[in-house]
Amino acid sequence: MAKIKNVEAFCKFCGAIRKMELTGDVAGDDNKRWAKCKKCKQTMIISISDDVVSQKVSLDGIENETYVTYSPTQSYEVGQNIFHENWNDFGKVVSKEILSNGQKSIMVEFQKLGNKKLIESFIKQQTDQDKQSEVI
């Protein structure tokens, strides 16, 4: 199983907070991890307690937890596990957003595909004919 853990941490090469991928443990020190900066591609040891500003949800083993199969017409909660059938990928809802057209969307962190924006509560646009036939 792919072990993906993304964090935002201070990159000493960039001198800024960057998105990083944790690539491995440091033997004998639980607080340190090998991390690769997604911006400068440098690999370094970071301190979980000092350098990490936000730790993304752990996706380890979520396929064994309760999950729902994604459908654009459903709505979801932050923290919910979802399974995307077409992509055959499990993910966790990390945030929700309303798009400029009023459509609701969710940001999902997937095990294999990473961050993806998906539509939720999708409502089919009414056609003109539907509107005309509406009787109030």
Residue from 3, 13, 50, 126 binding Zn ion (CB under 5 A)? 13
Burial class (CB in 10 A: 0-12, 13-18, 19+), 30: exposed
Beta strand 81-84 with 68-69: parallel, antiparallel or unpaired? Answer: parallel
The two structure tokens encoding residue 73: 């017409």
C-beta of 107: minimal distance to Zn ion in Å?
23
Contact between 20 and Zn ion by CB under 5 A: the answer reads no
The Cα–Cα gap between 122 and 37 comes to 36
- Give whichever of 9 and 93 is closer to Zn ion, judged by the CB atom: 9
C-beta of 21: minimal distance to Zn ion in Å?
12
C-beta of 73: minimal distance to Zn ion in Å?
40
Residue from 1, 14, 26, 45 binding Zn ion (CB under 5 A)? 14
Contact between 87 and Zn ion by CB under 5 A: the answer reads no
Residue from 7, 37, 93, 118 binding Zn ion (CB under 5 A)? 37
- Give whichever of 13 and 87 is closer to Zn ion, judged by the CB atom: 13
Contact between 11 and Zn ion by CB under 5 A: the answer reads yes
10 Cβ contact partners less than 8 Å away, ≥ 6 residues apart: 16, 17, 18, 46, 51, 53
The Cα–Cα gap between 26 and 70 comes to 36
**DSSP, residue by residue, 16-36:** EEEEEEEEEEETTEEEEEEEE
Contact between 40 and Zn ion by CB under 5 A: the answer reads yes
Interface residues with Zn ion (CB under 5 A) are: 11, 13-14, 18, 37, 39-40
